[in-house]
Structure 1
């Protein structure tokens, strides 16, 4: 028995109506979404940290989510795990005619253009182009906002809706920042909210022009903040103090110390 079959059998037992686990039996597609997203992010975290044992374990957790969803579908007579594996296999073959067929692509741009046209054709076949075959079709609405912004911008850029060079993007960042300052001066919270969104969107555009993945960059920035803040906590503990007992000047000094110490 392969490990895949063993995993499928385990999930079948967990979902057995008579002898299965009550929690597993209560789950449906929607209830599993938070767990599926969490496991995907944990895979990303392990990969970015280069922690191979953890990556193996987190990939297993993510695979469990695929198996779980597939088992629920099989219980309802919708599809099976085998159908899922078959569908992605067919999709990969269809989208790589230069590997599995006779097509020849001279550049990455040609390969990418075929990939996008293939995806559009698949959406048409599934009847998912009711929004007028927009070039923005197919981008999931519930993606993390930074990821969605990047995808929207990249898709529009392929059709010429983009700045040809980075200079105007910096100008746009300054323009949006000035508009945010004006909104703050007005005191109108809805306007401030809107301008914050515009500023974040154009910052993602700047990251794209600099060939930086905005989501990854922000995750790295979060990790950096956590490392430095924990350094502050550790140094305060050595001094027998807490955050609440410290002044902002002390915290700022330790922050600068953390920047110097942790960058070495």
Structure 2
């Protein structure tokens, strides 16, 4: 994967907005052929039109194992293989543990953690065959837990743990595992929070700093997956300069 992604095949989950969309475009610009998956498949039409290279839109729900397997199969059938999986699909439904709507916990676990695990499981045989790469999009919340982010942090700590175990299993077989941990990024993520107080707090925190843009994270992913084959960039922690914790 040294230097260029020309001819490489990538699958990006959660590609309908934010980091996923920006990453798909950046990798396409670098020469990759990109499959993009999301539940909001209608949004992918615009993404495909904006892509500089060949792009395949897929209706994908990462919480559904069959949907994940179908997306990987469609990618490999269309492009002839798979070199890079970008596990980006995620939801952040922050709130206090007391009086929490626990269905939101289930949704986060199924999307953020199990969804990324299902995608790795489905893609791994292809990645081993091509000596490819897995990019796991985690969060600073996967490194430091804070009040009102207990369940979200738990999912992201899980993503981190799974990525390290995966790395130890496959790195000697040539598959590189990259964990990306963004701080505050200007995306739709906080708008999904249902707790009014926590949503207002997140909005206020974001407005207090120069937040990262999705393109900043996309550039970090591109850097990691275009290193020479013997170089594994295993972890990228990337915060806004203005973010203290």
**TM-score, length of structure 2 as denominator length:** 0.23
User: Whose helix fraction is larger, Structure 1's or Structure 2's?
Assistant: 1
Larger RCO (alpha carbons 8 Å, 6+ apart)? 2
User: Whose strand fraction is larger, Structure 1's or Structure 2's?
Assistant: 2
